[in-house]
Amino acid sequence: MSLPTRQRVWTTPPDVTLCPVDSLADPGARNFVLQIEEAFFHGFLVRKDGQVHGFVDRCPHAGLPLARVLDQYLTPDKQHLVCGWHGALFRPDDGKCVGGPCNGASLTPWPVKVEDGMVVTT
């Protein structure tokens, strides 16, 4: 017996409040899974140097989620995002791959903003 496949979506509606910005370490990252009707969106936020950026949780190399361990998106020195499967390195501000098997490719942005101390989708 096979389990039903959960449909994935790659965008979210605007104005969804995600979390207080102060709940994100700086530097730090956090995973989010949002149910949108019958489908699911998988993304993550990264906060570094006071800026918050969102990305779809999908490596451009193999299509897998970046983190092998929940919320473990940053390298040990917290300078880059890292794919836990193949070691690709991404800049946390724009998601551009700067090393590894997808060098030059980019993570898909997840548009977010900080409004009244909360991180909100745009």
pLDDT digits (tens, 9 = 90+) for 7-64: 999 999 999 999 999 999 999 999 999 999 999 999 999 999 999 999 999 999 989 9
Mean pLDDT of the chain: 95
Residue 8, C-beta contacts closer than 8 angstroms, at least 6 positions apart: 39, 40, 41, 42
Residue 3 inside a domain? The answer is: no
Total domains, the chain: 1
77 lies in which domain range?
A: 24-121
Residue 15 inside a domain? The answer is: no
Residue 5 inside a domain? The answer is: no
Residue 86 inside a domain? The answer is: yes
Residue 63 inside a domain? The answer is: yes
> What's the pLDDT score for residue 49?
96
CATH number of the domain bearing residue 63 = 2.102.10.10
Three-state secondary structure along 36-71?
ECCEEEEEEEEEECCEEEEEECCCCCCCCCCCCCCC
Residue 11 inside a domain? The answer is: no
What predicted TM-score, i.e. pTM, was given to this entire model? 0.93
Residue 101 inside a domain? The answer is: yes
Residue 69 inside a domain? The answer is: yes
pLDDT digits (tens, 9 = 90+) for 96-107: 999 999 999 999
